[in-house]
Amino acid sequence: MKRGTILIAFILTMILSTEANAQFKVPDTKETEHWKIELLEPLKNEALIQAKKGKYEVYSLLVTNKGNEVYNVEVEAFRNGENDNKMYGLAPQFEHPHMQAGDTLQFSNFPVKTKTEKVEFVITWEDTPITLKDGTKVFGRKFKETISFLKS
């Protein structure tokens, strides 16, 4: 009886500790009318950062323009704090001056702290630049979308 109790306690401990350190489900895809964001497995490339058990997990990101031609695209990544509501910036922060429909941006192997529960990607872009009567071109209207992934 004592062995059975110890075995059950051991199994429960393993299950609970596994759930506490669960990773983000990958591959996972979120889509809006204009963007497709894919959170992917990291590349198995020794030259790129790899996960460090108990410290951080590693993921890759693929952003696809599903909509029209856009300009000045910026992608920023954030993770939540452990005991506060702050969002902390992550490595995948990149910009692209011009994207056609179907174009992609990829960021391979970025670390996310193990205890992170939410990863958020903020995408901003502008539509077609406007030409004024005097021929001067000015930036088009600015847009922003936020896409979040939660740990399962």
Q: What is the pLDDT of residues 2-42, one digit of tens each?
A: 655 444 444 444 444 444 456 899 999 999 999 999 999 99
- Please state the domain extents for the chain: 24-150
How many other CB atoms are there within 10 angstroms of residue 93's CB atom? 15
Q: Are 76 and 89 in contact (CB under 8 A)?
A: yes
Residues contacting residue 104 through CB under 8 Å, at least 6 positions apart: 62, 63, 64, 65
CATH class (in words) of the domain with range 24-150: mainly beta
Query: To the nearest whole percent, how much of the chain has pLDDT over 90?
Result: 77
Question: Which residue's structure tokens are 């058990």?
Answer: 53
Q: What is the mean pLDDT of residues 109-136?
A: 94
Alpha-carbon torsion 50, 26, 123, 53, what sign? negative
